[in-house]
Structure 1
Amino acid sequence: MAEDLVFYANPMSRARIARWMLEEVGAPYRTEWLTFDGSMKSPEFLAINPMGKVPTIRHGETIVTEAAAICAYLADAFPQAGLAPPTDRRGDYYRWLFFAAGPLEMAVSIKAFGLNVPKERERSIGCGSYGAVMDALSFAVTRHPYITGDTFTAADVYVGAHISWGLQFGTLEPRAEFTAYWDRLKDRPASKRATAIDDEEMHRQLAAAKD
């Protein structure tokens, strides 16, 4: 039942990643829309996620935060969706899913904020250099059609969302291999459904803010 799986979200956030994953899973869920400076910081929600951020899901008594963790959790919780490889073939799955959550997001954020890591300090930071991260991402998306091989998985949801965002807003180098990889994902029905849901709510919130 939808009441068993609750999704806390805002359409102008990383919750879009989790929405895509939820649509890929295909299980019924209920969305609780939150506002950044309002309900997201309420005592009720802080009791669920002390960071006061989305995405967050509650599945029965289990609470999961962080988009990459939500993708991994949902793939395991709903194995019938086929979004995780067998456990003995999860090397690339875990590797690139958490590469995107760690070094990729860190490198992109550093660049977006105009910060500079001195070359002699690159060994001290998890992402190293932006160029090294871009090269590693190129490696990840060019060996197979999808991250783990010929089959789409939750890792493609997470990596694909980052690449889509990065190409749209210019935080990723516009490499041909990034565009080719996203072209293989962008027309998935679940991705389109998720985008439509979030876009509708985004437009509603923006219109309400003007009133």
Structure 2
Amino acid sequence: MAETMFLFWGSGSPPCWRIMIALEEKKLQGYEQKLLSFERMEHKSSEVLAINPRGQLPSFRHGDTILNESFGACLYLENQFKSQGTQLIPDAGDEQAAVYQRMHEVLTLQDKLGAVIYYNWRVPENERHDSAVERNKKALNEELMLWEGYLEKLGPDSFVTGKNFTMADVMFFPQVAYAVRFGISTDKYPKLMEYYTKVKERPSIQASWPPHWKDSPPTMDILKDV
């Protein structure tokens, strides 16, 4: 079945990584894929635009079905291959609700990370203000502390909603790894770092680890004082 799947992806992109983790967890190795370069603007190529008119990554196809949003693609994979590999959405109503809640909260974390990491790329130099930078950092700190509290409440050796790895972790871990990549303080967020250290050793994470991260250890410190 994986042979009928195709993924355009970019190394280090959390949305791309989510789909790759889900594919690994659902035992769907062997899918067709093509790694594209953001720097060379390959995501704006005609072959990507043919299935994703926004020219964004990921771009995922299963047979004639196209999904270009990572949340949609991951939920599709879980629903289509429910009995295969890891069950990523639990059956129990309360557990299911917790997974849906956390996985959608990840979008807020993603936005607040982006507001800090990409500020200089997104905002023209003559429109930048130190007050905006500090405001974005404060908002990100508050968001990270919220997740720190979630993990502390769950106790040691937990995933993001409890004892089992779920779709919430598929969504959450790439953002945590991205924060680590950009220099998040390991002392200020000990529970997040415990989570990162635990989950990064999972086979699905190791199998889909961004290739250029393997060759270049974290050197950026944009988040060091958040």
TM-score (norm 2): 0.73
Runs of 4+ in 1 over 4 A off after TM superposition: 171-174, 200-203
Q: Contact 2:8–2:58 (CA<8 Å) still a contact in 1?
A: yes
Give % identity. Answer: 25
SS where residue 164 of structure 2 aligns? coil
RMSD (Å) for aligned C-alpha atoms:
2.8
Moved more, 149-158 or 172-181: 172-181
Q: Does 1:106 align with 2:111?
A: yes
In 1, the alpha carbon distance for the partners of 2:193 and 2:213 equals 27
- Residues 34-183 of structure 1 correspond to what in structure 2 (within 5 A)? 34-36=36-38, 37=40, 39-80=42-83, 81=85, 82-86=87-91, 88=93, 89-101=95-107, 103-112=108-117, 113=119, 116=132, 129-144=139-154, 145-171=158-184, 174-183=188-197
Q: Contact 2:8–2:48 (CA<8 Å) still a contact in 1?
A: no
SS where residue 60 of structure 2 aligns? strand
In 2, the alpha carbon distance for the partners of 1:12 and 1:64 equals 19
Instruction: Provide the residue aligned with 1:207 in structure 2.
Output: none
Q: CA deviation at 1:40?
A: 2.1
Q: Contact 1:146–1:156 (CA<8 Å) still a contact in 2?
A: yes
Instruction: Provide the residue aligned with 2:221 in structure 1.
Output: none
Q: Contact 2:106–2:172 (CA<8 Å) still a contact in 1?
A: yes
Q: CA deviation at 1:10?
A: 2.2
Structure 1: gaps (5+ residues): 123-127, 204-211
Q: Are residues 172 and 74 of structure 1, via their aligned partners in 2, closer, same or farther at CA, if it must alter by over 3 Å?
A: farther
Q: CA deviation at 1:12?
A: 4.1
TM-score (norm 1): 0.78
Give, as a single letter, the amino acid of the residue that structure 2 aligns with 1:4: T
SS where residue 57 of structure 1 aligns? strand
In 1, the alpha carbon distance for the partners of 2:182 and 2:21 equals 19
Structure 2: gaps (5+ residues): 121-128, 216-226
Q: Contact 2:109–2:143 (CA<8 Å) still a contact in 1?
A: yes
Q: Does 1:192 align with 2:218?
A: no
